[in-house]
Amino acid sequence: MATVSSNDLKNGMNLLLDRDLMAVVEFQHVKPGKGHAFVRTKLKNVRSGAVVERTFRAGESLERANIDKREMQFLYAEPNGYVFMDNETYDQITVGRDALGDTANYLIEGSSAVLLMFGTEIVGTDMPASVELVITETEPGIQGDRVSGATKPATLETGLTIQVPLFVGPGERVKVDTRSASYISRA
């Protein structure tokens, strides 16, 4: 593994500390008037999501974790997970539901996703800021029902339920924000 100095830490950098995979959330280089300089950090455990604060001496060597980003195509869902195909090698892998987290709410067959891999372990996903999905079930809009800001629940083709404006009906394609699971606009 490559090493990195604590002076060279950046937000989003991945480190291997005490056999845990940690991502740098925030860092601050502190040089007090007396004593030695140090680096105060907030680190997020990639596997569990726990955030811890750690302080390192300036110039201390840390082990950097190499995270590979692989673009894969979602093929289909199985009872024990989701099957993806690597776009370069055409290998198929099954990913557990817990490894994907909320990303599973935005996957339709044939769509692409970028999986973050540490060795052979999938530690996360990179999703676009928004996706287009079809509404499968919602109450039909009523003519003249145009109250500003009023919403109703709608179920998408992936099974996710979001709030949409009253004028949006079943079978329509909508743009959904993947960070907040909210309606953006009609597609």
CATH of the domain at 18: 2.30.30.30
- Residue 181 has a pLDDT of 87
Contact by Cβ (8 Å): 37, 30: yes
Q: Residue 127's closest CA among 85, 74, 65?
A: 74
Number of structural domains, the chain?
A: 3
- Pair 145, 105 in one domain: no
- Pair 167, 149 in one domain: yes
**In the predicted structure, residue 174 carries a pLDDT above the cut 90:** yes
| Percentage of the chain modeled with pLDDT above 70 | 95
Quick: pLDDT tens for 57-105: 999 999 999 888 899 999 998 888 899 999 899 999 998 888 888 888 8
Contact by Cβ (8 Å): 105, 158: yes
DSSP assignment of 11-26, as one string?
TT-EEEETTEEEEEEE
| Percentage of the chain modeled with pLDDT above 90 | 38
Domain boundary among 16, 48, 63: 63
**Tokens representing residue 153 in the block:** 């629940």
Domain boundary among 63, 81, 113: 63
**In the predicted structure, residue 43 carries a pLDDT above the cut 90:** yes
- Residue 34 has a pLDDT of 87
- Pair 13, 48 in one domain: yes
Pairing of strands 81-86, 68-78: antiparallel
Confidence of residue 187 (pLDDT cuts 50, 70, 90): confident
**In the predicted structure, residue 168 carries a pLDDT above the cut 90:** no
- Pair 90, 114 in one domain: yes
- Pair 30, 46 in one domain: yes
pTM of structure: 0.73
**In the predicted structure, residue 46 carries a pLDDT above the cut 90:** no
- Pair 75, 113 in one domain: yes
Contact by Cβ (8 Å): 27, 44: no
3-class DSSP state for residue 97? helix
Which range of residues forms the domain containing residue 138?
130-186
